[in-house]
Structure 1
Amino acid sequence: MLADARRLLPRRADYAELPRSWRQDLLAGVTVGVVALPLALAFGISSGVGAAAGLITAVIAGLVAAVFGGSHVQVSGPTGAMAVVLAPIVASYGLGSVALVTLLAGLIVLAMGVTGLGRAVTFIPWPVIEGFTLGIAAIIFLQQVPAALNTAAPTGQPPLVAAWRVLTGANWSEALPALLVVGIVAALMVLLPRLHRGIPESLAAIIAAAGVVAALGLPVARIGELPDHLPAPVLPHADPAALRALLGAALAIAALAAIESLLSARVAATMSPTGPYDPDRELVGQGLASVASGVFGGMPATGAIARTAVNVRSGARTRVAAIVHCLLLLAVVYFASGPVASIPLSALSAVLMVTSFRMISGRTIAKILRAGRSDVLTFALTAAVTIVFDLIDAVVIGIVVAAFYALRAVARRSSVTREKLPVPYQPGDERIALLRLDGAMFFGAAERISSAIVDADHPEVSVVIIRMSQLGMLDATGAHTLAQITAELEARGITVIIKGVQPEHLNLLTNVGAIESLRHENHLIDSLDEAIAHARSHVRG
């Protein structure tokens, strides 16, 4: 127990590589900080909590997750997916709910890590993850349409409906300056990496757009006032009514935080030579990060795949890189809040629009489309539900659909085969049915197997041998069905012999009464030759 607790806490080994990699870590941290600044501001605004909350989250949550998380190179902070989930919560419950729901979600994620649920993300099918990602990318783009047209977003409406209403009711003469800014930023973000990969294209594009706006005096909305220091930590007020109202929202946020953080850490582990990550410790770190963020007035945080990828590609080897990224953003809060406040909102919307397109991999979608109809349906349904309804519902529905197709595939590979008795023929062999179960016998296949065993075409059968040595999977429903079949056959005067029960299936068959249904305990036999000999003795007798 104590060893498990220690595994979830920071330790000196987290920084074992630092003497050799500190220069790389410092450079990577600065690079990620430059990339993270516009994203933190943009995701804060997109979620409805404001640019300041996004910046605070990147500093506080990013620092806590870097120290306590389970990955050496993960970078955490506000993300597009979290902004998508948080926006309707802010619209429904107001800004005052954000601190409490962030704290609650953090405690839930922390509990998931402590109880060892970190590895559950490995059960989410690949088409569900990709459909979820496509849906999030679409929502991020749709959420930016109002800011791109210099218009306030309609409140309390799904992103698709809100974007459509803004487009159909836009005043294009007022929207033109903002669209010009969007075009400048998008063009620079596409072109600058082609000139030099080391250029932080999003930050450079925003600086250029802000310069154009200032020089031409374009009438576009700005970020507005930002704090020049971190706020004092304050525990949010939590009365029972507020807790009940926000618990569902907190569960949704916690589920998303866990999924996104573990997926990001898993991607980082494949990209980086720093070794594997600890999923349970990662959840502990992310839970503590959201708790700290809520106390300081931020928003829920998760591992950020894009920023983590930049960190790895920049040479990060230890947690110091993510810590440096937080310190750089903290310096912005204290020394550059004035200039940052003048950034046009349309410039940030352009950054997120380009980011949403980069989240979509055409190669990955093509692979899914070639994988088969079930994977295509799971992918498309998850994406559609994400866009039209809800992110968590999309993941649940996607997993259910994928599980249905997986179980159907297993059930189709399950079979019951009538075999011939070994030669030479002996009188009475026609009254013995030798049946072999293959594959799996579970709730998806039990009824079909039942129909095959109770065969009306062979009414003369007086002994049935059921071979189970080739059975790979048996669940409670399958075992119960077998018990019912055995009891029914015995009631009709047909002797049942079960041959070759695997040790892992024996307890289950015993517990559901399948063994008890046999006429005699000697009818549970390991050898096929013995089973056939015993069956022939019944027929002759």
Structure 2
Amino acid sequence: MTDTTAPSAVRRMATHLRSLLPSADDYRSAKRTWRRDLIAGLTVGIVALPLALGFGISSGAGAEAGLITAIVAGVVAAVFGGSNVQVSGPTGAMVVVLAPIVATHGLGAVALVSVMAGILVLAAGATRLGRAVSFIPWPVIEGFTLGIAVIIFLQQVPALTSPGVHGASHTNVAVEAGESLIGADPTYLLWSLGAVAIVAACMLLLPKLHPAIPGSLVGIVVVTLVSLILPSPLRVIGDLPHSLPAPAVPAWDLSTLSALALPAVTVAALAAIESLLSARVAASLADTGPYNPDRELVGQGLASVAAGLFGGMPATGAIARTAVNVRAGGRTRIAAVTHAVVLLVVVLAVAQPVGMIPLAALSAVLMVTAVRMVHVATVSSILRSTKADAAAFVITAIVTVSVDLIVAVVIGIAVAGVFAIRNLAGATGVHREPIAGEPHPGDERIAIVRLDGPLFFAAADRVADEVTSLGGVSVVILRMSQLELVDATGARILTEIVQRLERDGVTVLIKGVREGHEELFRTVGVLDALRHHKHLFATLPDAIAHARSHIERESA
């Protein structure tokens, strides 16, 4: 007989790899939607400009790195990613991770980390890990988002307090923000707060006049004009390149790779999580076609690698920009590519005017963006849902701000998992049932015990205690037909229950073993622990009749 396992495995792998590559189907609807795609791309480009500049500066990599990432990663992720409408580039979450990397390893580490993380994300997509994000509970995601929003907001405070160049003086952003406020230059702080007020007002009020008005861009233009007309102390972006740099492999050696291995894993995990969440949200906003999570990881991995080769920073799918794209009418990858082209035109044509933008204006954009990341209704609904979900949300948010993003996600999942296991263990039932029908002499010495729900490690000891604590019985009938999930620990505890009862002189009969459990029970020894192989029954009446025969023999 021919073994077809290997060829079929090869075919499945080939099919999977083909699904990760661009195809003509990506642009099937472009003939109908290209005009809307171009308009959406222009809209997103305008929205993305201040964010790319701000996130680049806030990360410590510089405005140039932010623009390069938005352009290069924006095109690569649009072509190779798994979503038709995802817009990629530098994001606030990535800034939070990159800032300490720059502070510890220097600016030169950003490009190398981008390439390393991109390779890891690419490998995750190739090995079908795209569905893993579905294992992250919603409260953990929201707690993670709240923590990121707080960090982004606090990161802007030092840039508003004095005209000096700010490096990270403390690993905790809250402490650094507090120290910068204590040592603030009153005059500079007053100017900065004025700039923040102007930008925030434009972002909040102008869209109410017309949704198409880019409030952040208008606010930045107003602040820039004011700082040029009046003698202003506000620091500006400074010189920007008039073209993209030539691609080059970042300098590396084994010691550098070793030092950056853990940061790269952190960046890769964050890039994968944020990109998949963004793609999933985009798919729910409108009929944008299906998205392939594995291909999305491949595209985001390639995007980060490409950004690193051009001297940029790691990229992820950007939820805010992707949402703007969908709401502006974007339906194919043409929109995301157009957004990158708009930013490229900025670099090629208006780099000098852009360099005159005060940093306080960009900080204001990021502050408003951070506030908008937090939805009060969502927070309220989580806090009022269950104690377990509220705890996971609060703990994730606190750990995100005080420790680390990825640690926060891990701890949040662990907390949610512990509560879920506890609740699942509580669903395991141990019920003593009466014997139906006409009573027989000695029936009081027969105990019918129904086990239902899941029987696994968290509930095993409780089940054992309840079953073996039955007193005054000679026969115990264990009804198994209602058992759902059973793991090895649960099967093992059943073995110990049977052995303990038999050792105490109680005959154990088992009724209704499910087909899916029988092999596990044989392997672990549940059935071998029975006194006789005929003590296994398919129906309850047969088990009761056998139990009564035992009672009769004992009474004779």
**Which residue in 1 is equivalent to 2:253?**
239
CA distance in 2, matches of 1:252, 1:524: 53
Secondary structure, counterpart of 1:371 in structure 2: coil
**Which residue in 2 is equivalent to 1:487?**
499
8 Å contact from structure 1 (residues 148, 350) kept in 2? no
CA distance in 1, matches of 2:236, 2:522: 71
1:391 pairs with 2:405: yes
Which residue, 353, 367, 371 being the options, matches 1:353? Answer: 367
1:444 pairs with 2:458: yes
- Segment of structure 1 superposing worse, 343-352 or 243-252: 243-252
Secondary structure, counterpart of 2:528 in structure 1: coil
**Which residue in 1 is equivalent to 2:220?**
206
Change (3 A) 1:100 1:529: same
Q: Give the % identical residues.
A: 59
Return the offset for 1:153: 4.4
Return the offset for 1:509: 2.1
- Which residues of 2 match residues 280-359 of structure 1 at below 5 A? 280-359=294-373
- Segment of structure 1 superposing worse, 72-81 or 119-128: 119-128
Return the offset for 1:136: 0.5
CA distance in 2, matches of 1:174, 1:349: 14
1:428 pairs with 2:442: yes
Return the offset for 1:517: 1.9
Return the offset for 1:441: 1.0
1:302-359 deviation line (CA, Å, top 9, x unaligned): 1100000000001011001001101111111111211111111100000000101111
- The letter of the residue matching 1:293 is A
- Which residues of 2 match residues 55-454 of structure 1 at below 5 A? 55-151=67-163, 152-454=166-468
1:233-258 deviation line (CA, Å, top 9, x unaligned): 11123322222211111111111111
CA distance in 2, matches of 1:428, 1:40: 81
* TM superposition score normalised by structure 1: 0.97
Return the offset for 1:147: 1.3
8 Å contact from structure 1 (residues 153, 166) kept in 2? no
* TM superposition score normalised by structure 2: 0.94
Secondary structure, counterpart of 2:374 in structure 1: coil
- The letter of the residue matching 1:30 is L
Return the offset for 1:207: 1.1
Return the offset for 1:492: 2.9
Secondary structure, counterpart of 1:378 in structure 2: helix
CA distance in 1, matches of 2:239, 2:529: 77
8 Å contact from structure 2 (residues 103, 168) kept in 1? no
Change (3 A) 1:476 1:190: same
CA distance in 2, matches of 1:524, 1:115: 44
Structure 1: where are the runs of 5+ without partners? none
Which residue, 472, 485, 510 being the options, matches 1:473? Answer: 485
- Segment of structure 1 superposing worse, 42-51 or 485-494: 485-494
Structure 2: where are the runs of 5+ without partners? 1-12
Return the offset for 1:165: 0.3
- The letter of the residue matching 2:337 is I
8 Å contact from structure 2 (residues 480, 511) kept in 1? yes
CA distance in 2, matches of 1:434, 1:257: 55
1:30-53 deviation line (CA, Å, top 9, x unaligned): 100010011001001111111100
CA distance in 1, matches of 2:355, 2:516: 65
- Segment of structure 1 superposing worse, 525-534 or 284-293: 525-534
CA distance in 1, matches of 2:156, 2:243: 28
Return the offset for 1:156: 4.1
8 Å contact from structure 1 (residues 223, 341) kept in 2? yes
1:65-114 deviation line (CA, Å, top 9, x unaligned): 10111110110100000000111111111112111211111111111111
**Which residue in 1 is equivalent to 2:50?**
38
CA distance in 2, matches of 1:211, 1:46: 23
CA distance in 2, matches of 1:310, 1:467: 57
Secondary structure, counterpart of 1:439 in structure 2: strand
Return the offset for 1:423: 2.5
1:449-491 deviation line (CA, Å, top 9, x unaligned): 1100101x51x42322111111122122211211222222233
CA distance in 2, matches of 1:515, 1:239: 59
Return the offset for 1:426: 2.1
- The letter of the residue matching 1:40 is A
Secondary structure, counterpart of 2:384 in structure 1: helix
Secondary structure, counterpart of 2:431 in structure 1: strand
- Which residues of 2 match residues 48-59 of structure 1 at below 5 A? 48-59=60-71
**Which residue in 1 is equivalent to 2:540?**
528
Return the offset for 1:58: 0.4
Return the offset for 1:518: 2.0
Query: How well do the aligned residues superpose, as a CA RMSD in angstroms?
Result: 1.4
Which residue, 26, 35, 39 being the options, matches 2:38? Answer: 26
**May I ask how many residue pairs the two structures share in their alignment?**
539
Secondary structure, counterpart of 1:437 in structure 2: strand
Return the offset for 1:217: 2.5
Return the offset for 1:174: 2.8
Change (3 A) 1:43 1:341: same
CA distance in 1, matches of 2:283, 2:261: 32
